[in-house]
Amino acid sequence: MSDLVRVRIGDVDKNVGRSFAEANELDVLDEPTHNPDGSLRATTRANGRPRKQKTSVAAAAAKKKAAVTESAPDEKGSDQ
């Protein structure tokens, strides 16, 4: 198993290898790299909250347009 450490890069906390942290002169945090169930801790913001996925304006607009198009009623009336 690789030797992982928790580091802060900007405002993000993440797991990296110890040799990578030393080579790039990163500040190693005194925090565990694994959750209590043994799984690796995910990348989080410095305050411990999960990171949000980055979405472009075009992707958000396309998603919104798809949702509106799917929920729009048909042009055909139901009284015919």
Q: Is residue 41 part of a domain?
A: yes
Average pLDDT of every residue of the chain: 82
Question: Residue 47 has what pLDDT?
Answer: 75
pLDDT at 16 over 90: yes
User: CA angle, corner 15, sides to 12 and 17, nearest 5?
Assistant: 130
Q: What kind and span of H or E run contains 43?
A: none
Q: Mean per-residue pLDDT for 69-77?
A: 62
pLDDT at 5 over 90: yes
- Find the domain containing 32 and state its range: 1-50
pLDDT at 80 over 70: no
Domain count, the chain: 1
Measured distance CA(18)–CA(23) in Å, rounded: 9
Q: Is residue 62 part of a domain?
A: no
Q: Mean per-residue pLDDT for 48-71?
A: 79
Q: Is residue 6 part of a domain?
A: yes
Q: Is residue 59 part of a domain?
A: no
Measured distance CA(61)–CA(55) in Å, rounded: 10
Q: Is residue 64 part of a domain?
A: no
Q: Is residue 20 part of a domain?
A: yes
